[in-house]
A and B are shown apart, each in its own frame.
Chain A
Amino acid sequence: MSADTPQQTSRSEASPPVLRAEGIVTGYGDHEVIHDVDIQSHEGITCLFGPNGSGKSTLLKTLNGIVPIWEGTITYGDVDLSNATPDEIVREGIATVPQGGGVFGTLTVEENLRVGGFTVSEQDAYRRRREEVLDAFPALEDKLGDRASSLSGGQQMMVSLGRAMMTGADTFLLDEPSAGLSPALVEDAFELVERLVDRGARVILIEQNVTAALRLADHVNILVAGELAFDGSPAELSDEEELMEVYLGL
């Protein structure tokens, strides 16, 4: 989809389409990691929890096109993304914030935003999105000419989220945004995530910091050994004492 078409504008005013993955099977080489998993983006924040090695990041990478699926389907609204490449998925309105932010450290903040806005061909649309990002993260205004690697962890997370916003996405896949941040900055990172939701976005969030993430969650999935062990609301999860204790350590 081209940048800032009328269709996309109306989408951001209404609720974003549902990103739905059904019957996903995938892995690396001959090793199957994800076994017949269904997941979808709900209103607000959908948290994806699970122990280390359960396949959370792999599942996220199937949604953004980095890891191809072996079986199953992925759709975004009416659009079939089962065999789409990462750049096609971005153009449909799904952006990823990699683990730890993944800023381009040798590029300046401005250049990071420019890469985020790579799919935007119109100058006016590009400027509008840039203004929106600086409006959401005003602390970046004075850092635009600085190398991203020179910023603090929290500022780098702003760059990463801002860069994802520049794509024009309305669904965001976040892989442990708090990773590598000091405890004092973790709450800041979650507040930044909430700002995306306040702007109408849907978020699928992988997070090891379960306690903090649960406070934000509108829906929860738990992945265990590549299989979906729970799919429900945070309230429903609170009834699953064994899951909470064994897999989430709560």
Chain B
Amino acid sequence: MVSTELLSQSIINGLLLGGIYVTVGVGFALVFGVLEIIDFAVGEYVMLGAFTGAIVAPMVGGEGLLVVPLAFVAFFLVGVVIQPFIHHVTTGDRPMPLLMGLVFTFGLATFMRGSILTIFGPNTRNVPTNALSGGIEIGGLGTFPEVRVVTAVVGVLSLVAFMYYLYRTTGGTAIRAIAEDRDIARLMGVNINRYQSIAYGVYAGLTATGGVFIGLIYSAGPGMGLQYTAFAFFMIVLAGLGYLPGIIISGIVLGLAQSLTAVYLGGELVFFVLFGMIYVLLLVRPEGLLGKGEVA
């Protein structure tokens, strides 16, 4: 017999998780559209964000929340520095640019993971918070950890701000134009190197920010990245490659699937269920559940 209370709590937990996954997925989808790469390092930016929270929070009074803006700015700059290298290996006369991008970002991911493992060792670390140590009652359905609720709210707000930029500003319109056809965008006077840098910086910043929140909910460990890379793949395949609005739905589906599977089938089956869904989807609707072959 399924308990209604347990089901409700699992659904809310799933929605809360989905809110933060969306911030990871939307950046991943953006760089797929704008830079035409599949960034294998996406999960490692989550890991680096979580580690930044774990290392820096004790220096700012033990409050992980204060690390969030810092992580965004720091990783935005990291992204701006890294993007020209990606551009270099995926353009010019090189054959198979998509494969070159995959190889480069796979190497980048290995380097990031190896560096953290070497410097900080294999142990996990907590991201401390004093402000979010309590619980919040939601609609009589139970009490949920403040950290999860605030994380989801900030995740959604970040997403709204990001979508506003993309859909309501000239810079955002230029980024969407690049995602659709970079050569024609260049012919309209758009400096695509600049906007590709901005897009990759925003992606790295958003993803690392998501990492701080994920560190607040769980913990930071050098091996955590691969899981989030898999989650990011799940989201963009479900949404339809590069289709940004679809990421909102697919992030929430991911959170729900993870939460419900963990509660009713067991945590060890989460990946089995998620990738089972993806395999079935690819067989019956390869363009994604929500996408229409669009990129922005």
Q: Which residues of A contact B (CB under 8 A)?
A: 29, 64-66, 85-87, 90-91, 95-96, 98, 102, 104-107, 111, 114-116, 118-119, 163, 167
Q: Which A residues lie within 8 Å of B185 (CB)? A: 115
How far is it, in angstroms, between the C-alpha of A90 and the C-alpha of B176 when the chains are bound? 19
- Quote the shortest CB–CB distance from A103 to chain B (angstroms): 9
Q: Known contacts A29-B93, A105-B180, A114-B173: does B186 contact A66 (CB below 8 Å)?
A: yes
Chain B: residues with Cβ within 8 Å of the partner, total of 20
Q: A106-B294, A106-B295, A118-B174 in contact; A167/B189 too (CB < 8 A)?
A: yes
The answer to whether A107 and B176 have CB atoms under 8 Å apart is: yes
Residues of A within 8 A of B189 (CB): 86-87, 90-91, 118-119, 167
A-facing residues in B154-196 (Cβ within 8 Å): 170, 173-174, 176-177, 180-181, 183-191
Contacting pair A66 B93 (CB below 8 A)? no
Partner of B170, one of A85, A104, A114: A114
Count of chain A to chain B residue pairs whose CB atoms are closer than 8 Å in the complex: 64
A-B contact pairs, 9 of them (CB 8 A): A85-B191, A90-B189, A102-B187, A106-B295, A111-B176, A115-B177, A115-B188, A163-B188, A167-B189
In the assembled complex, the CB of A93 is this many whole angstroms from the nearest CB of chain B, namely: 11
Partner of A64, one of B176, B177, B180, B187: B187
Answer whether residue B42 sits at the interface, using C-beta atoms and an 8 A cutoff.
Answer: no
Which residues of B in the span 253-296 have a Cβ within 8 Å of any Cβ on A?
Answer: 294-296
The answer to whether B187 and A104 touch across the interface, beta carbons within 8 angstroms, is no
Q: In the bound complex, do residue A98 and residue B187 qualify as a contact, i.e. CB atoms below 8 Å apart? A: yes
Q: How far, in whole Å, are A114 and B166 apart by their CA atoms in the complex?
A: 13
**Assembled-state Cα–Cα distance A119/B186 (Å):** 11
Are B174 and A115 closer than 8 Å at their CB atoms? yes
Closest Cβ of chain A to B194, distance in Å, is 9
Contact (A86, B176) CB under 8 Å given A29-B93, A106-B294: no
* Chain A nearest Cβ from B24, distance in angstroms: 23
Return chain B residues, CB-CB under 8 Å to A119.
189
The 6 closest A-B CB pairs, nearest first, are: A90-B189, A119-B189, A86-B186, A96-B187, A87-B189, A115-B177
| Residues of the B chain whose Cβ atoms lie less than 8 Å from the Cβ of A104 | 176-177, 180-181, 184
Minimum distance in angstroms from A66 CB to a CB of chain B: 6
**CA of A87 to CA of B184 in the docked complex: distance in angstroms?**
11
The interface centre, meaning the residue of A91, A95, A106, A107 with most chain B CB atoms within 10 A of its CB, is A106
B residues less than 8 Å from A96 (CB atoms): 187
Q: Are B294 and A116 in contact (CB under 8 A)?
A: no
Q: Specify which of A64, A86, A106 is in contact with B296 (CB 8 Å cutoff).
A: A106
Residues on the A chain within 8 Å of B184, using CB: 98, 102, 104
Q: How far is the CA of A167 from the CA of B185 in the complex (A)?
A: 12
Please pick, from A65, A66, A167, the residue contacting B188 in the complex, using a CB distance under 8 A. A167
